[in-house]
């Protein structure tokens, strides 16, 4: 499937309404905020694992609309 002259989406056989893969997209500024908050909470010799997402997946084509 060709979306534009430079962008091609591969994988259109998923069981989603448009056939493309679902991902939980976030804005880059939200990712920056998450990094800052993780650094503020960081403690020496302790590992913190955080999941950054909205919990609401969108397909590739939904994101490109």
pLDDT in tens, the chain (65 residues): 655 677 788 888 999 999 999 999 899 999 999 999 999 999 999 998 888 988 999 999 898 87
For the chain, how many structural domains are there in total? 1
What's residue 64's pLDDT?
Answer: 83
Element containing residue 30 per DSSP (H, E): helix 28-41
What's residue 7's pLDDT?
Answer: 76
Q: What is the per-residue burial (b if ≥16 Cβ within 10 Å, else e) of 13-52?
A: eeebeeebbeeeeeeeeeeeeeeeeeeeeeeeeeeeeeee
Instruction: Identify the CA nearest to 61 among candidates 26, 4, 20, 23.
Output: 20
User: Can you give the residue range of the structural domain that contains 36?
Assistant: 1-65
What's residue 63's pLDDT?
Answer: 87
What's residue 17's pLDDT?
Answer: 93
């Amino acid at each position: 499937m060709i979306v534009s002259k430079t962008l091609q989406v591969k994988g259109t056989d998923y069981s989603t309404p448009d056939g493309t893969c679902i991902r939980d997209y976030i804005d880059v500024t939200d990712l920056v905020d998450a990094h800052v908050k993780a650094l503020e909470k960081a403690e020496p010799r302790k590992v913190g694992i955080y999941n950054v997402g909205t919990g609401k997946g969108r397909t590739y084509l939904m994101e490109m609309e």
